[in-house]
Chain A
Amino acid sequence: DVKVTQSSRYLVKRTGEKVFLECVQDMDHENMFWYRQDPGLGLRLIYFSYDVKMKEKGDIPEGYSVSREKKERFSLILESASTNQTSMYLCASQTRGGGDTEAFFGQGTRLTVV
């Protein structure tokens, strides 16, 4: 069974704090993604990575950065949290090659910035 594990289910942080969201996958997938999910807006891609130390901006990268030092781990960093970053954050992983390339999701981290 593919497992994508996000380090926290719920987080409450103060405005201005630096926040780290961690995601680990156990299937040796090349691709990893960070999304935020907001009502009526669906899943919006923040950043993705297709290999170690490689990253690509998604549709809404402002205010975020990422780190991929190891293949299995993809971290999302909020440099200075703001209240408009209150959201559900979803991590996903996907194999790059042909054939079955569906993405698998973690359970999500609900972040509240106060």
Chain B
Amino acid sequence: AQSVSQHNHHVILSEAASLELGCNYSYGGTVNLFWYVQYPGQHLQLLLKYFSGDPLVKGIKGFEAEFIKSKFSFNLRKPSVQWSDTAEYFCAVNELSGSARQLTFGSGTQLTVLP
């Protein structure tokens, strides 16, 4: 079974600092990759996604992520964080084999941005 690792459990940054959150997955086949965000008290929403093509994908609110196939990684980045980015961030992987497409999430990274 595939697994997804997010190594940073809690990240604390000051406003305007740069952000990079790590995500690694274990599945060796074709995958779709996602980052979801959960703001306090709200439900999960999509931040960005990678299906194919350019490995550098841009999402909402200035976030981007880079898919490095050789490293099985899909790290999330933002050049300058804002207080409103305080949230929990989840990396997710869809393995693309057969009819059943398991969607597996990492354990999440809580980001706190200090004003």
Give the interface of A toward B (CB within 8 A).
31, 33, 35, 40-45, 48, 50-51, 54, 56, 58-59, 90, 92, 94, 96, 99-103, 105-108
Q: How far is the CA of A64 from the CA of B106 in the complex (A)?
A: 21
A45's partner among B43, B99, B104 (CB-CB below 8 A) is B104
Please tell me if the beta carbons of A58 and B102 are within 8 angstroms of each other in the complex.
Answer: yes
Give the interface of B toward A (CB within 8 A).
1, 6, 9, 32, 34, 43-46, 49, 51, 90, 92, 94, 99-108
Number of A-B contacts defined by CB within 8 Å? 64
Q: Using A42-B106, A90-B43, A99-B51 as known contacts, list a sample of 4 further A-B pairs with CB atoms less than 8 Å apart, ordered by residue number in A.
A: A48-B102, A96-B99, A102-B49, A105-B44
Please tell me if the beta carbons of A101 and B43 are within 8 angstroms of each other in the complex.
Answer: no
Task: Say what secondary structure dominates the interface of chain A.
Answer: strand
Please tell me if the beta carbons of A40 and B49 are within 8 angstroms of each other in the complex.
Answer: no
Q: How far is the CA of A98 from the CA of B41 in the complex (A)?
A: 32
* Contacting residues, chain B, for A56 (C-beta < 8 A): 100, 102
Q: B53 to chain A: closest CB distance in Å?
A: 12
* Contacting residues, chain A, for B1 (C-beta < 8 A): 59
Q: B68 to chain A: closest CB distance in Å?
A: 21
The residue on A at minimum CB distance from B4 is: A42
Please tell me if the beta carbons of A40 and B107 are within 8 angstroms of each other in the complex.
Answer: yes
Q: A35 to chain B: closest CB distance in Å?
A: 7
The residue on A at minimum CB distance from B91 is: A42
Please tell me if the beta carbons of B107 and A101 are within 8 angstroms of each other in the complex.
Answer: no
The residue on B at minimum CB distance from A43 is: B105
25 A-B Cβ contacts within 8 A? A31-B101, A35-B105, A40-B108, A42-B90, A43-B90, A43-B92, A43-B105, A48-B100, A50-B100, A54-B100, A56-B100, A58-B102, A92-B44, A92-B103, A94-B94, A94-B103, A96-B101, A100-B51, A101-B51, A101-B94, A102-B34, A102-B49, A103-B92, A103-B103, A105-B43
